[in-house]
């Protein structure tokens, strides 16, 4: 079991990661929200590490490609990455790898993290395959730390199992925020991507729950109403400064 020291900081958007991190994201496949949340986390992490002006203009994205690996079951249940929905700087710089099963996906993920020219690696694996055991999880985490490339691994329709991932999330889709200037106005199209996210295990942060949404420039966090006794000023300040 992972333990935390006294006074460990709570996670918030815009918080620079303590080195390359292996994230694991559990999400329902039929919502297709797990991969979108992984992408939002990746963007938030990269923005936090980039110089201010470069982060605002997305220059840091254009310089490095993204590796995206899916097993066949994930493609069948959740679909492939949709290029027009990606950040503009990445629309022509995604290296998409489709593989047969989890064993092939793990091999591609580990090999991808050996390439330091990648901005990050996103993986999608369905269920709880035997190949993704504790040893495989440790190999992924060590590769991320050794080569400096963060991994965001989406676990579609999976039960929580043993893992060495540094940050583990349970995610489901949430309602998009109402229009900023007129909450009663009907939306002209889909709202911004929003998620209910529970960080249930982390090595450097206590557990927590947030409603998160990405407005296209930053990731914004709010505490769920059922859990919030006061505004999460730390999270909002972090989002504003991202």
**Which one has a higher pLDDT value, 237 or 29?**
29
Task: Read off the pLDDT of each residue in 208-228 and give the average, rounded to a whole number.
Answer: 80
Q: How far apart are the first and last CA of the chain?
A: 31
User: Of the spans 5-14, 209-218, 222-231, which averages the highest pLDDT?
Assistant: 209-218
The per-residue pLDDT for range 59-85, each reduced to its tens digit, is: 566 578 999 999 999 999 999 999 888
pLDDT at 5: 43
Task: Read off the pLDDT of each residue in 202-213 and give the average, rounded to a whole number.
Answer: 92
Return d(Cα 121, Cα 109) in angstroms, integer: 7
Pick from 33, 22, 50: which is nearest to 217 by CA? 50
> Do the Cβ atoms of 105 and 70 come closer than 8 Å?
yes
| Residue 121 CA neighbour count, 13 Å, CB half | 34
Name the pTM for this structure.
0.84
pLDDT at 45: 87
Task: Read off the pLDDT of each residue in 93-103 and give the average, rounded to a whole number.
Answer: 96
Domains and their CATH numbers in the chain: 22-175 (3.40.50.300)
Pick from 136, 135, 77: which is nearest to 106 by CA? 136
pLDDT band of residue 103 (cuts 50, 70, 90) is: very high
Tell me the pLDDT of the chain averaged across its residues: 83
């Amino acid at each position: 079991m992972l333990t935390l020291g006294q006074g460990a900081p709570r996670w918030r958007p815009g918080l620079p990661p303590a080195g390359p991190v292996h994230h694991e994201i559990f999400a329902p496949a039929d919502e297709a929200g797990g991969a979108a949340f992984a992408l939002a986390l990746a963007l938030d992490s990269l923005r936090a590490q980039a110089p201010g002006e470069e982060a605002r203009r997305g220059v840091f994205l254009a310089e490095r490609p993204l590796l995206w690996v899916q097993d066949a079951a994930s493609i069948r249940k959740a679909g492939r990455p949709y290029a027009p929905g990606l950040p503009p700087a990445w629309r022509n710089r995604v290296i998409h790898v489709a593989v047969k099963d989890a064993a092939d996906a793990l091999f591609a993920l580990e090999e991808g993290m050996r390439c330091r020219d990648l901005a990050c690696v996103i993986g999608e694996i369905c269920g709880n395959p035997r190949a993704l055991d504790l040893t495989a999880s440790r190999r992924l985490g060590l590769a991320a730390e050794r080569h400096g490339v963060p991994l965001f691994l989406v676990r579609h329709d999976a039960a929580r199992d043993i893992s060495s991932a540094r940050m583990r999330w349970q995610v489901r889709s949430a309602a998009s925020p109402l229009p900023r200037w007129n909450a009663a106005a009907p939306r002209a199209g889909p709202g911004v991507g929003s998620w209910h996210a529970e960080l249930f295990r982390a090595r450097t942060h206590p557990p927590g729950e947030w409603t998160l949404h990405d407005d296209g420039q930053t990731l914004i966090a709010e505490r769920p109403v059922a859990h919030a006794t006061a505004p999460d000023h730390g999270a909002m300040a972090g989002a504003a400064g991202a």
